[in-house]
Amino acid sequence: MKTVNIGIVAHVDAGKTTLTEQLLYCSGQTRTVGSVDDGTSQSDFLKVEQRRGISVRTSVVSLQYGDVRINVIDTPGHADFAADVERSLAVLDVAVVMISAVEGIQPQTELLIEALMRTNTRMIFVINKVDRAGSRIQKIIDEIRERFSLRTICLTDVKQEGERDCILTDRTLKSDDFFTEATELLCETSDELMERYLSGEEISKEEIHRLMTAAFSSGELVPALCMAALHGKGIASLLSLLAACDFSYKNRQDDTLSGIVYQVTHDKAMGRVAHVRLFGGALKNRDSVQLTDGSEQKITQIRRYQGGKFSDIGEVRRGEIGALCGLSNIRAGDIIGELFGLQQYELSAPLFCVQAAPKTASERYTLLQALLELSAEDPGMRVSYEQGEQEIDVNVTGKIQLEVINELLQTRYGLSCTFSAPSVIYRETPIKPGRGHEAYTMPKPCWAIVTLDITPLPRGSGITFSSTVPNNQMFYRYQRHVETALYRAAKQGLYNWEVVDMNVVLSDGNHHTIHTHPMDFFLATPLALYDGLLHTGTHLLEPMQKMRIAVPEEYAKTVLGDLITLRAQADVPVIKNGMFFVEARVPAATVMDYSVTLAAKTKGKGSLSLRFDGYEICPPGIGAATRHRGPDPRDRDRYILTMRSAMA
């Protein structure tokens, strides 16, 4: 049986979950159509989703249409959960991109289309809500072609567009207009066909149909369908298209085990459940799996999920999606077996930090474990614990994500906690080249001498390390200790933020054959690094976001005034079809609450999308130091005493 893995992606409220329910109903998988508003949809089964009426986690449902198995991945639309979407892009055979026929291509949709193009993922555009007043199908088709340079062809005829009783029919090659449009688009993909067409050679409708289906499968043409999903109109056309095309281009041709864990969920009985897409090979119950962290664990059960329900399928094969139980160390994003050529695209990053405080001190450890469990399911959430301050830090992408975390803590673990106000996560980078030195030779027994040359690197380079010290001067195993300790120590610089974008060279140093303890270089390296940073100095870096705003034209002056307050680096605004569009690069700190502000100022008619866009040097007076966590190398004597006690 052929398997197609599709993902439904779109801006918030475009109708993704409604389409999922209609696909299940029209394929005969369910007897009734679930409702998002009533909380009866199969894909939005979490209590927090039913209460809010939005998707906050990726979910999968499966259906059979003819001899084709279609796995449908319903993704969240809100920007706070973009990490869920970006992981899903890697496992999709084809993305169904939903666009509202009234609102058009909204900012978040544009980001998704760009990501799909960069990852070379096949697309099908679904123009939904064509039964609503204000529908503008042709303008949206033209915009797709112009903005993204995609060869898009609409496969649906719509009569009485914008009315509840609109009629949707499939366009056929019997229509001269459709035949000509399809042939001319196909000619752009084939010089041979172009030559035949221009020479006046007769080309059969059967050949054009075959070539068009092949072009959809290869991504050379992108089909567009019109739909009124709420009323079940246009659903059958999508099912037929998915069944007709061959979207197996991501599968390996050999039997090498190859897969990626795109999501981790929690089961009360089984613990972590890893949702995996296999590109090659097969997995069965009781198979052992090598995990990314190096551990090896055994699969106890393989499931197929239908929203919140599941069945035991016992095996998952190439091209299929399954859920693996028994892998307690698994995390979202982990690789199963070998994976080559995977293209991923970052849509989001955790830019804000909060402190989580338990209701009572006795619940601190329980709260920490619960948050760590949730972070394994969502890599966009990072959790750390400072033993000395007994403080739990949580990095998140936005406030709605934080609210969902709080609800999950209450519903799943029965825990109540409070979160501090979000603060921006800054970074540091060296200002100029400098050298750091540490001679840790007292009190005996100890001996570790380290000299580090530090050079700034371009933004986004991270940290690079190399050594010019020979083995007879410092054993290579000790040099590896220096490298490991360097990356750990760089988590806190002069302002106690993570230090990035620097090249570090171990230019000198030595050990002592008698006095050197195996842990000495782990102690000395942070001292040498901090000494070097004192000589280089560091700039504070603030996180930046790429922002796109779309508002009705009458609110243009309001937005332009806000851009100054937001410290935005704006591109030239565009006014089109009565809408004002502007793109800008803005500091994350200034736009933390701007979506709420924009909605209030535009009476809910404005839309905003944000995407992480690197770090930039903070202007003078912007940004602040944070407190140091753990032993502080600024107090050398206390630091050495504390570290020696810990190592002992």
Other Cβ atoms closer than 10 A to 360: 10
Model confidence over 363-386: pLDDT tens digits? 999 999 999 888 887 766 888 887
Q: Say whether 540-617 and 352-425 share the same fold.
A: yes
Q: Is the pLDDT of residue 56 over 80?
A: no
In whole angstroms, give the CA distance from residue 71 to residue 200.
43
- 103, 112 in Cβ contact below 8 A? no
Model confidence over 20-42: pLDDT tens digits? 889 998 988 887 886 655 656 65
Strands, sheet with 122-128, edge to edge from the N-terminal-most edge strand: 59-65, 68-74, 2-10, 94-100, 122-128, 222-226, 152-154
Please identify which residue in the block is written with the tokens 């929690």: 266
- Of 87-91, 328-332, 618-622, the range with the lowest mean pLDDT is 87-91
**Residue 635 amino acid letter:** D
In whole angstroms, give the CA distance from residue 10 to residue 97.
6
Class of domain 352-425: alpha beta
In degrees rounded to 5, what are phi and psi of residue 229? Answer: -60, -35
Over residues 526-539, mean pLDDT: 97
Q: If one looks up domain 540-617 in CATH, what number appears?
A: 3.30.70.240
Q: Is the pLDDT of residue 431 over 60?
A: yes
- Please tell me the predicted confidence (pLDDT) of residue 76: 64
Over residues 326-354, mean pLDDT: 75
Class of domain 428-536+629-647: alpha beta
- Please tell me the predicted confidence (pLDDT) of residue 51: 54
Please, is 177 exposed, middle or buried when counting C-beta atoms within 10 Å of its C-beta (0-12, 13-18, 19+)?
A: exposed
Model confidence over 117-172: pLDDT tens digits? 888 899 999 999 999 998 999 999 999 999 999 999 999 999 999 998 999 999 99
pLDDT category at 319 given cuts 50, 70, 90 is: very high
Q: Is the pLDDT of residue 47 over 70?
A: no
- 215, 186 in Cβ contact below 8 A? yes
**Crossing angle of helices 520-536/636-647, nearest 10°?**
150
- Please tell me the predicted confidence (pLDDT) of residue 57: 63
pLDDT category at 500 given cuts 50, 70, 90 is: very high
Over residues 173-192, mean pLDDT: 94
Q: Is the pLDDT of residue 111 over 70?
A: yes
- Please tell me the predicted confidence (pLDDT) of residue 90: 81
In degrees rounded to 5, what are phi and psi of residue 260? Answer: -135, 140
Nearest C-alpha neighbor of 581 from the set 104, 180, 142: 104
- Please tell me the predicted confidence (pLDDT) of residue 342: 58
- Please tell me the predicted confidence (pLDDT) of residue 84: 62
- Please tell me the predicted confidence (pLDDT) of residue 563: 95
Over residues 93-101, mean pLDDT: 93
Q: Which residues pair with 385 in a beta bridge?
A: 392
Alpha-carbon dihedral 389, 392, 393, 394, rounded to 10 degrees: 180
Model confidence over 581-596: pLDDT tens digits? 999 999 998 988 888 8
Over residues 603-624, mean pLDDT: 86
- Please tell me the predicted confidence (pLDDT) of residue 338: 83
The angle at the Cα of 74, spanning 37 to 297, to the nearest 5 degrees, equals 125
pLDDT category at 257 given cuts 50, 70, 90 is: very high
In whole angstroms, give the CA distance from residue 394 to residue 415.
16
In whole angstroms, give the CA distance from residue 330 to residue 233.
41
Average pLDDT for the chain: 88
R_g of the chain, CA atoms, integer Å: 28
Q: Specify the 3-state DSSP secondary structure of 569.
A: strand
Class of domain 258-337: mainly beta
What are the extents of the domains in the chain?
2-244, 258-337, 352-425, 428-536+629-647, 540-617
- Please tell me the predicted confidence (pLDDT) of residue 472: 93
**In sequence order, which residues have a C-beta less than 8 Å from that of residue 386 and are 6 or more positions away?**
393, 629, 630
Q: Per the CATH hierarchy, to which homologous superfamily does domain 2-244 belong? A: P-loop containing nucleotide triphosphate hydrolases (3.40.50.300)
